[in-house]
Structure 1
Amino acid sequence: MAGPLIPAAPADGGAAPKARSGPARILPGAGRAGRPVVRRLGMLVLLLAAVFAAIELLPGDAADATAERGESAADMAARRAALGLDRPVAERFWDWMTGLPTGDLGTTAHGRPVTTVLAGPFPNTLVLGTLALALSITGALALGSWATLRPGGRVDRAVSVASTAAFALPEFVVSVALLLVFSQWTGWLPAVTLTGSDGAPASWDMLVLPLLSLAVPQIGWNTRIVRGALADQAALPHVQAAILDGLPRRRILSHHMLPGALPAIAVSTATSAGMLLGGAVVVETLFNYPGIGAVLAGAIADRDTPLVAGVVAATGAVISALLLLADLIRDRTLGARR
């Protein structure tokens, strides 16, 4: 088998030009590395602006939603002034954004700091989402690789059909099915999540059904991505050469195909993180899980713009970091190929 590719010498036989050293060489690379960060931050700012605008378009406001029975018009006006609702939405958005770099997410319509409200539920959602993401990627890699080792066979066709069906099922359908089978019919797992003194689920088995409800559709999605990426790699010349050399199929998969498929899998993983955090709102509500799902639902009902924006900022920061990591993995892999 041919050895590693070596850059060809210049056609005139002369020495290859030396790479420049010093700041002139470092700054362009730093600029290229900083572009994805600026792009992701810009997207996050636009998303937060859209959140403020969307809450503003809903009927009523936070003063109406949180008003107590019998409050006078003067009381309502004072409440609106206290919440800053008498100011333009653009001004309120700017004030909220200026506090964001310092970790100040504003104050809820009930007068509590947003960071305090999110301090308990958000880590619970991160635990659930991280476990679901790990299970999704592990399952997808296993199923996608299994199907790749048997292209066109019964296993490949079965994995393709099952992954498509799993991805087509919404989280609430998977949740209801799991509740019926594992809680109502067999009684193996609890139907709702009870909270311990620390605000987390009281026992590990209360995580199983929410975890599976989130992971099953994403296993389907990522399995198709992994299978497609590996199929693209299988058609490349160096993989065909390894096959002709008689290398074991598993070694070809692990050493020649999976490394090349890594950028597509990384982007799929980051995309799944966003889908998982979005699906968590529904799943957490169904299973009474102590995460940001219930917080977000209550915030929307209260027209509580700072709290909704705080949830979006926290989840958006996590998703943006994962997307940035996927961009860096892709750029590094493509750079190594060149």
Structure 2
Amino acid sequence: MAGTLTTLHPGGASVPAPPRAPARILRGASRAARLAARRLAMLVVLLAAVFAAVDFLPGDAADATADRGASASELAARRAAMGLDRPLATRFWDWMTNLPTGDLGTTARGEHVTDVLAGPFPNTLLLGLLALVLAIGGALLLGSWATLRPGGRTDRTIDALATTAFALPEFVVSVALLLVLSQWTGWLPAVTLTGPDGAPESWTMLVLPLLALAIPQIGWNTRIVRGALADQAALPHVRAAVLDGLPRRRILTHHMLPGALPTVAAGIATSAGMLLGGAVVVETLFNYPGIGAVLAGAITDRDTPLVAGVVAAAGAAISLLLLLADLVRTASLGERR
């Protein structure tokens, strides 16, 4: 057929040549666009659910933030000023149409949502990223260590510790860390004090909340890494490398870890959501200046724009990591084909 390239095998049979680079790039871009659209649609649905959930709570922002003893007419005027007299769908649409411009709306107390989140969200993002890096590094180290000694005492011990760590909620880990590293030993401060810029005064104040967030995720990802590497160990090319007498560490780094990357990436992306969710609890326990306190106050005030702003910021970060994990997985599957 005209326009179709072929290559000739030694036996004389002709087969289609590999697709040209531009075609592969276009297909990759198309897959990335579809994945991005799917993640964006999920975020929109999540934000709609947040608007509905806050609206279903007893009371409203006008009542929660009004002065004590406000009259019915004053409350009605506040509701009208806040737009609470309009249908929920209309308020959500107006908020969503302003979102692409970076306008997250105005809080029930008359502040811009972006101004309220400008200080706490970077603090939460820093804590979450550090915890994610620690979780990734710890999981790769422990999962690889267990893989090098399959079925042995080290493998069983790491598996038991990882299962226990993941089973413990963040607040239980936080309390244990507070008792051991702060109350009993005095090594680390129990609460976080903020400086003039709104950030923690000292890096030591990051250690306890960082460990409280990272330990359960180290357990979760260690099990994922160990399982993914076990699947890779059963593949023919890995068995061939073992029979060829290659060193175990080289087999791990050159033959097993690359194939396990898509599964590990998916686990890491899932951990990002768990970390930001757990940050709300951990930040409250350690008085960390993040979005945990902002979100708790916003729910108390029935402040829909502020709650949605927190969810939008956190959801965008999580969606980006999930999208990267999707791209890694599709790229890996494409190479195997």
What TM-score, normalized to structure 1? 0.95
Residues 298-317 of structure 1 correspond to what in structure 2 (within 5 A)?
Answer: 298-317=297-316
Note the 1:272-283 alignment, pairs <5 A.
272-283=271-282
What is aligned with 2:100? 101
CA shift for structure 1 position 223: 0.3
In structure 2, what is the Cα distance between the partners aligned to 1:305 and 1:89? 11
* Cα offset, 1:141, TM superposition: 0.4
Distance 2:40 2:260 in 1: 27
For residues 56 and 9 of structure 1, the distance between their equivalents in structure 2, rounded to whole angstroms, comes to: 67
Q: Distance in 1 between matches of 2:176 and 2:79?
A: 45
Q: Cα offset for 1:10?
A: 6.2
> Structure 1 residues 25 and 150 mapped into 2: Cα distance closer, same or farther (>3 Å)?
closer
1:234-285 residue CA offsets vs partner (Å, 9 max, x unmatched): 0000000000000000000000000000001101111000000000000000
Distance 1:22 1:192, change over 3 A: closer
Give how far 1:20 is off: 6.8
Q: Distance in 1 between matches of 2:170 and 2:61?
A: 30
The answer to whether the 8 A contact 2:209-2:286 is kept is yes
SS at match of 2:191: coil
Q: 1:58 to 1:125 in 2, by over 3 A?
A: same
Query: RMSD over aligned Cα, in angstroms?
Result: 1.8
Rate the CA distance shift 1:225–1:18 in 2: closer, same or farther, 3 A: closer
| Aligned twin of 2:252 | 253
Q: Are residues 1:162 and 2:161 paired? A: yes
Give the aligned partner of residue 141 of structure 1: 140
Alpha-carbon distance in 2 for matches of 1:320, 1:285: 24
Moved more, 12-21 or 55-64: 12-21
For 2:187, the equivalent position in structure 1 comes to: 188
Partner in structure 2 of residue 175 of structure 1: 174
After superposition, the Cα gap between the structure-2 partners of 1:273 and 1:20, relative to the gap in structure 1 and judged at 3 Å, is closer
1:78 CA displacement? 0.7
Q: What is the alpha-carbon distance in structure 1 between the residues aligned to residue 260 and residue 33 of structure 2?
A: 24
Deviates most, 12-21 or 133-142: 12-21
Partner of 1:48: 47
Structure 2 match to 1:4:
none
Provide the C-alpha distance between the structure 2 equivalents of 1:26 and 1:244, rounded to a whole number of angstroms.
Answer: 38
Q: TM-score normalised to the size of structure 2?
A: 0.95
Q: Partner letter of residue 106 of structure 1?
A: G
Q: Which amino acid aligns with 1:200?
A: A
Distance 2:25 2:184 in 1: 63
Other structure's SS at 2:109 match: coil
Q: 2:36 corresponds to which residue?
A: 37
Mapped contact 2:284–2:292 kept (Cα < 8 A): yes
SS where residue 107 of structure 1 aligns?
Answer: coil
- Residue aligning to 1:234: 233
Shift in CA distance, 139/29, structure 1 to aligned 2, threshold 3 Å: closer
Deviation of 1:336 (Å)? 1.4
Structure 2's unaligned 5+ residue stretches are 1-5
Residues of 2 paired with 1:245 and 1:19: CA distance?
A: 31
> Matched residues, percent identical?
77
What is the identity, as a one-letter code, of the residue corresponding to 1:148? Answer: T
Count of aligned positions: 332
Distance (whole Å) between structure 2 residues aligned to residue 121 and residue 9 of structure 1? 63
Shift of 1:69: 1.0
Moved more, 63-72 or 266-275: 63-72
